[in-house]
Chain A
Amino acid sequence: MGWKLWSLKKSIWVFHVNTGACNNCDIEIVDLLTPKFDVERFGIKLVGSPRHADALLVTGVGTRQAAKRLQEVYRQTSKPCVVFCMGACACGTGIFEGAYHVAGPVDKIIKEVDPNAIIAYVPGCPPKPEAMISGVVKALSVL
């Protein structure tokens, strides 16, 4: 594989976006980045700006208010990048199916901006940190 793909797999910098989540998944993501689970050994680092990020960890069902903002954040992430939908709500609207404030699950919102986006799904309500790590590592191995 080329050097670009190797270095992307070995060093993934993540940025966390909340598009209307109940904060359960957000707490688990913040847990994930503490020293107990030590994701630094996979090269994963939390960055403060989407421009530095390679992976967007998106939680929450995409509300109408957050949909445009999520698309803007996706555009500002320098490609190549991966979008991880964390949690049942992000994967497919979860329990909010058909509600008045839902603008579609996260992959529908992202595909409006970029039909060729690379999207990975980590279901769970909320997914355990171990499940998130396993999801990220599996996604990286098939890139």
Chain B
Amino acid sequence: MEQQELESRLSQMEGKLIGTQQTKNNRIFLLCEAEKCSDVCRFLFEELSLRFVISTGIDADDCFEVLHHFSNDQTGCMVTVKAFIRDRTKPSIGSITPFVPAAEWIEREMHDVLGIDFENHPNMRRLILCDDWPEGVYPLRKDAKL
């Protein structure tokens, strides 16, 4: 869809977000809390039919951030949902795999290396760490002792 239409439909969702950023013409960030992330992604994937690209997990000092990137192929605009997980002791967020099957592996990878728990994930198993890696040690966390 065209850029104007995209922006106007995104503004429909203002209620669920805590902020938006538009750094460039084709780069939009939607900031939200962890609980609303799943609804926002479902809106983007099903209502606006954006294409899921990849996800990112970040260990910011006071919270975890999970970014889901969606692409509007017609204009080349990337819409990123940035979810903040405030609880550092037991980080948890709703999984988007039930309606975006392509997100299954990247969520398993984020769970392996950052320890973020994805609720309702259909197949949460070890993906990229080796078989004899101890449980509970998450190598990509800033305070990981290796």
Number of A-B pairs, beta carbon distance below 8 Å: 12
Q: Are B139 and A64 in contact (CB under 8 A)?
A: no
Interface residue range, chain A? under 10
CB distance from A18 to the nearest CB of B (A): 15
Q: Are B132 and A64 in contact (CB under 8 A)?
A: yes
Q: Are A64 and B146 in contact (CB under 8 A)?
A: no
Interface residue range, chain B? under 10
- Chain B's closest residue to A101 (CB) is B130
Q: Are B139 and A65 in contact (CB under 8 A)?
A: no
CB distance from B113 to the nearest CB of A (A): 9
User: Which residues from chain A contact B146 at a C-beta distance below 8 Å?
Assistant: 100
- Chain A's closest residue to B140 (CB) is A100
CB distance from A93 to the nearest CB of B (A): 15
Per-residue CB contact flags for chain A residues 73-117 toward chain B (1 = under 8 Å, else 0) read: 000000000000000000000000000110000000000000000
User: Which residues from chain B contact A100 at a C-beta distance below 8 Å?
Assistant: 139, 144, 146
User: Which residues from chain B contact A65 at a C-beta distance below 8 Å?
Assistant: 130-131
User: Which residues from chain A contact B144 at a C-beta distance below 8 Å?
Assistant: 100
- Chain B's closest residue to A103 (CB) is B130
CB distance from A114 to the nearest CB of B (A): 22
- Chain B's closest residue to A65 (CB) is B130
User: Which residues from chain A contact B132 at a C-beta distance below 8 Å?
Assistant: 64
User: Which residues from chain A contact B129 at a C-beta distance below 8 Å?
Assistant: 101
- Chain A's closest residue to B146 (CB) is A100
CB distance from B67 to the nearest CB of A (A): 23
Per-residue CB contact flags for chain B residues 115-146 toward chain A (1 = under 8 Å, else 0) read: 00000000000000111110000010000101
Q: Can you list 12 A-B contacts (CB < 8 A)?
A: A63-B130, A64-B130, A64-B132, A64-B133, A65-B130, A65-B131, A100-B139, A100-B144, A100-B146, A101-B129, A101-B130, A101-B139
B contact residues vs A (CB 8 Å cutoff): 129-133, 139, 144, 146
A contact residues vs B (CB 8 Å cutoff): 63-65, 100-101
Across the A-B interface, the 7 shortest Cβ-Cβ residue pairs:
A65-B130, A64-B130, A100-B139, A100-B146, A65-B131, A63-B130, A101-B130
